């Protein structure tokens, strides 16, 4: 099973969608909520190269946000990750 980490905020609709997609697939993930970090965008950019939430890492490899996660699912790659 891959290690999935997701950087989120409470006010982000795409974060909710990404969590729902992973929950529907039965893929566990670690959620790191950034609501209390006023410099979260700089922190995210340093970690992932992205500025927006969610930022999702699979086995410490940044994959992007919800849209990229959705594309992985659409292309069957998310099921492959779950099977690994």
16-44 tens-digit pLDDT: 999 999 999 999 999 999 998 888 888 88
Do residues 42 and 50 touch, judged by C-beta distance below 8 A?
no
Query: Containing H/E element for 15?
Result: helix 13-25
Question: What's the pLDDT at 11?
Answer: 92
Q: Scanning the structure block, which residue is given the tokens 């982000």?
A: 12
Least confident of 3-7, 45-49, 55-59: 45-49
Q: In this structure, what token pair is assigned to residue 17?
A: 């969608």
- Residue extents of the structural domains in the chain: 1-33+40-49+75-84
Distance CA 47, CA 84 (A): 25
Per CATH, which fold does 1-33+40-49+75-84 belong to? Glutaredoxin (3.40.30)
**Which of the pair, 54 or 47, is modelled with greater confidence?**
54
pLDDT digits (tens, 9 = 90+) for 54-82: 999 999 999 999 999 999 999 999 888 77
């Amino acid at each position: 099973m891959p290690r999935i980490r997701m950087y989120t905020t409470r006010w982000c609709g795409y974060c909710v969608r990404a969590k729902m997609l992973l929950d529907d697939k039965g893929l566990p993930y670690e959620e790191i909520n950034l609501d209390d970090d006023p410099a979260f965008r700089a922190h995210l950019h340093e970690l992932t190269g992205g500025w927006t939430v969610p930022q999702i890492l699979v086995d410490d490899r940044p994959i992007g946000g919800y849209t990229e996660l959705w594309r992985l699912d659409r292309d069957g790659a998310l099921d492959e990750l779950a099977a690994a």
